[in-house]
Structure 1
C-alpha cells in the first residue's frame, strides 16, 4: 500500500490536533458523512476543502501541500500569497504555470481549486532568477500598460506572501475576486487600500481594498514575441514550443554531464 501523500498527512493532522472525529471534521468542512475516503487517499483534496481549512482553522494552503513551513495564517490580515502551486515530479521542483488570456477569465473563481490548475501548462526554467520562490506567467490583455507591456506579451511574476512584501511603484499581477489585472502598485496612507496605476495615461488610477485582493505576483521579467500576426493561440503555441525546446536542452545537458562524470 502506497504511503499517504503530504497533503493527506497534513489534512489528518489538522483533524487530530482539534480532537475531531472524521464525521465531525466532515461536517465543519461541508463534506458528506465522513473524511475517511480523503484520509485513505480515495478522494482528492479539492480546492473547496483547502479553502475551508483556511476559513475554519486558519491553515495555510501552501503548508497543506508541503510547500511552506508556516502552518497558520493570521485571519484579519490580507492573505495575498499563492493559493495553489504544482510540482513537476520528474524534476522534483515547482512548475511555473502559464495563465493565458482565456484562462485568466476563470482564474479568480478557481484560485483555490487544485484540479483546475491541471489544465494550465507548466514549465521549469533553469535560471537563477526563478529559484527559491513561486513563479507564474500571465498574458497581457488590453492596452492599459502600453508602451511597457503590449497585448499578447507575457509577464513572469513572483508570488508575494503579504502586503508588507510589496515594493512601492513596482508592477504586479493583481488577482481580484472578479478579474486579473497587471498594474503598477502604489501604497496609500491608509494601509487598508492601495492604488493601481496604468502606464497608459488614458486609464485612470484604481483604488482597491486590500481585502479584495486574492493574490499578488511581483513582475520581474516579460516575454515578447513577433506581433505581426498577433493571434492569442499562435503566441501561446510559440511560448509552449520554446519552453519544450529549453526543457529538452536541459535534459540533454544533464545526460551529458552524467555520462562524463
Structure 2
C-alpha cells in the first residue's frame, strides 16, 4: 500500500462513491482503478491529473499528505493541481495568522504545502486585516529599510501572479532563492523585475516558473523604535557626484605617473 492509494480510497469513502462510479468519472475501467486503490499499479500522470480534478484537490495533497488527517474544508481552494494552503481559524471563526520564525524558516520550502507543518507554526490574530489569507515572514539584512533584521512582514496570499502591481512590495517564495522580500519594479509575461529599497543592492529578475508563492505586504511587526536616518535625494546625488569626481581625479593622477 502507498499513501496515494490510501488517499484515493479515503476520498472515495468521504464522497460515498463506488469504485465503479469513480472509474466512470475518470473514463477508465473499474479493474484498472482497483489496481490504483490497492497499490498494485501506479497511475500515469494524466490519470493523476484526472483524479485531482475529480476530487478537486491538489496533486501535492494526493501524493504527500494523509488526507485522513486533514479537514479538506479548511483548505484554500486554488486552481486544479496547485499546492494546498490550509486556513487556520479560532473558535470564533477569526482568521489566525501563521508566523514563519527564523528558527523554522529553513524548513518552509519543504513544508509550505503541508498542513501538519503549518499547524506547528506560531499563530497571531490581527483584527484590522479583514478578509484574506495572511502569513508572517521574517526579514533578514538591511535591504528593505525601514524594516530591520528580525522584523516580521505580514503578507496577504495572492492566488494569481497577475494580481501583483508595480511599486508594491511582496514576500516571494521561489525554488532557487527561497524566501525574499522585495519591491516589484516591472512585470512582464514570464518574469518579475524586483529590487531592494536600499540602493546599494542591484535589481534582478525572478522567473515566473520559479515562484512557489507570493504574498503582498500588509503590515510590519517590529521591536525597534529607532528613528530612520533618511537622506535627502539631493544629498545622495551630491555624494555620488563627489565620489565620481574623486575617482576621476585619481585616474588622472595614475595616468600621469605612468
User: What do residues 167-224 of structure 1 show as CA deviations (whole Å, max 9, x unaligned)?
Assistant: 1121100001141000111233x31011121011111112111010000000011012
Q: Quick one: higher RCO (CA 8 Å, sep 6+), 1 or 2?
A: 1
Change in CA separation of 1:104 and 1:68 when aligned onto 2, cut-off 3 Å: closer
1:71-106 Cα deviation digits (max 9, x unpaired): x43x8xxx6xx7422423523343210011232222
Distance 1:99 1:18, change over 3 A: same
Structure 2 counterpart of 1:34: none
The 4+ residue runs of structure 1 with deviation greater than 6 A are 5-8, 10-14
Give the aligned length.
190
Q: Specify the SS of the correspondent of 2:106.
A: helix
In structure 2, how many angstroms separate the alpha carbons of the residues matched to 1:134 and 1:65? 15
Instruction: Assess, with a 3 A threshold, how the Cα gap between structure 1 residues 47 and 175 changes in structure 2: closer, same or farther.
Output: same
Q: 2-side partners of 1:219 and 1:24: how far apart? A: 43
The question of 1:120 aligning with 2:121 is answered yes
Q: Which residue number in structure 2 is paired with residue 85 of structure 1?
A: 86
- Say if 1:98 and 1:180 are closer, same or farther in 2 by CA, change over 3 A: same
CA distance in 2, matches of 1:133, 1:11: 32
What is the SS of the residue equivalent to 1:175? strand
Q: Compute the TM-score of the two structures, normalised by the length of structure 2.
A: 0.61
CA distance in 2, matches of 1:223, 1:141: 13
* CA distance 1:113–1:140, change in 2 (3 Å): same
Deviations 1:128-175 (A, max 9, x none): x42220000111111111x22111111111000111111112110000
Shift, 1:116, TM fit: 1.5
Please say if 1:158 is aligned against 2:149: no
CA distance in structure 2 between the partners assigned to 1:46 and 1:6 by the alignment: 13
Quick check: 1:29–1:52 contact (8 Å CA) kept in 2? no
Q: How far apart, CA to CA, are the structure 1 residues paired with 2:100 and 2:146?
A: 19
Give the counterpart of 2:215 among 212, 217, 235: 217
Task: Give TM-score scaled by structure 1 length.
Answer: 0.60
Give, in whole Å, the separation in 2 of the partners of 1:137 and 1:217: 9
Q: Counterpart of 2:96?
A: 95
Q: Distance in 2 between matches of 1:151 and 1:65?
A: 36
If you compute each CA radius of gyration, which structure gives the higher value, 1 or 2?
2
Q: Distance in 1 between matches of 2:12 and 2:151?
A: 35
What is the alpha-carbon distance in structure 1 between the residues aligned to residue 114 and residue 59 of structure 2?
4
Q: Shift in Å at residue 112 of structure 1?
A: 1.5
Q: How far apart are the structure 2 equivalents of 1:173 and 1:183? A: 7
Equivalent of 2:206, from 208, 213, 218?
208
Root-mean-square deviation over aligned CA pairs: 3.8
Answer yes or no: is 1:49 the counterpart of 2:76: no
TM-aligned CA distance change 1:109 to 1:197, over 3 Å:
same
Whole-Å Cα distance in 2 between the matches of residues 51 and 123 of structure 1? 30
